[in-house]
Amino acid sequence: MTREIHPALRPLQARLGSDATKRADWALGLLDAGRSIPEVAELRVAFGSRWMFDAAGDYPRMARRWRERLGTWSLQGAELEGEPPIVVVGLRDERGRSWHLRIGIDPAPPHRLVAWTVRRALPVDVRLREAAAEEYAGLGEVERACPVERADGARLFDDRRACYADYLKLMGEVRVNVAEVGGRIVAVDPFAHYRARVGGAVRRSRPAGSSGGRRPATPPRCAAS
């Protein structure tokens, strides 16, 4: 973390501190094709024990995947949210799509990353909410209309339609989020919690996504007909 900090991050330094701002710049650099991908040892220091390193290639592969997906991007701005602060960086990719990179940094040295997520910025007319159980049966049509778009241009479809609600019954404590545009459901994203006994105590897992979960690349394109 010796390179010059990106100009958009410099105004955050007064609140974050110098070293934490350098970590934020390092985290932003994971998306920058102009920088070399860090070695696994450096990634281990940055992410610490919060993220699993079962396979040595996981994080370099993650960085390459996001670089391929975003292509050449421009930074639209950076701000801090919450306390302790999360760095939120606005990006625009080469296809004109807007993204948010959220970087959580431990305030204590060595300022490990506690969050690093990239998400599409939602259009202003999109509303997110939890689906009611009586809506589940019709969500298979939405899933069918929302393919997974791979970096190589291939589109992968799930087609469960009338059986969609039955698949949800196979999950744990299920919750289904949907996106609406003008009152019309255009995307669906189910997930579940599971309970397991760990160290003699029953614990509730973090959300586990269903293979049927879909977020729209652009809501109108994914809207079911």
User: Is 179 part of a structural domain of the chain?
Assistant: yes
* Same-domain pairing of 201 and 98: no
> Looking at the 3D structure of the chain, how many domains does it have?
2
- Those residues with Cβ within 8 angstroms of residue 44's Cβ, 6 or more apart along the chain or in another chain: 53
The whole-number pLDDT of residue 53 equals 44
pLDDT given for residue 81 in this prediction: 92
Higher pLDDT, 191 or 80: 80
Condensed to tens digits (0 to 9), the pLDDT of residues 30-43 reads 999 888 888 878 88
Question: Model pTM greater than 0.75?
Answer: no
Count of C-beta atoms within a 10 Å radius of residue 190: 25
**Is residue 93 domain-shared with residue 188, that is, in the same domain?**
no
**Between 201 and 29, the higher pLDDT residue:** 29
- Single out the residue in 85, 120, 155 at which a domain terminates: 120
Residue 224 has pLDDT above 60, yes or no: no
> Does residue 196 lie within any of the structural domains?
yes
Does 1 map to a domain? no
Domain span at residue 185 reads 126-222
Find the mean pLDDT for residues 19-30: 94
Tell me what pLDDT residue 210 has: 43
- Condensed to tens digits (0 to 9), the pLDDT of residues 95-111 reads 899 999 999 999 888 89
Residues 211 and 158: beta-carbon distance below 8 Å = yes
CATH (domain of 94): 3.10.450.280
137 and 103, same structural domain? no
- Do 112 and 136 lie in a common domain? no
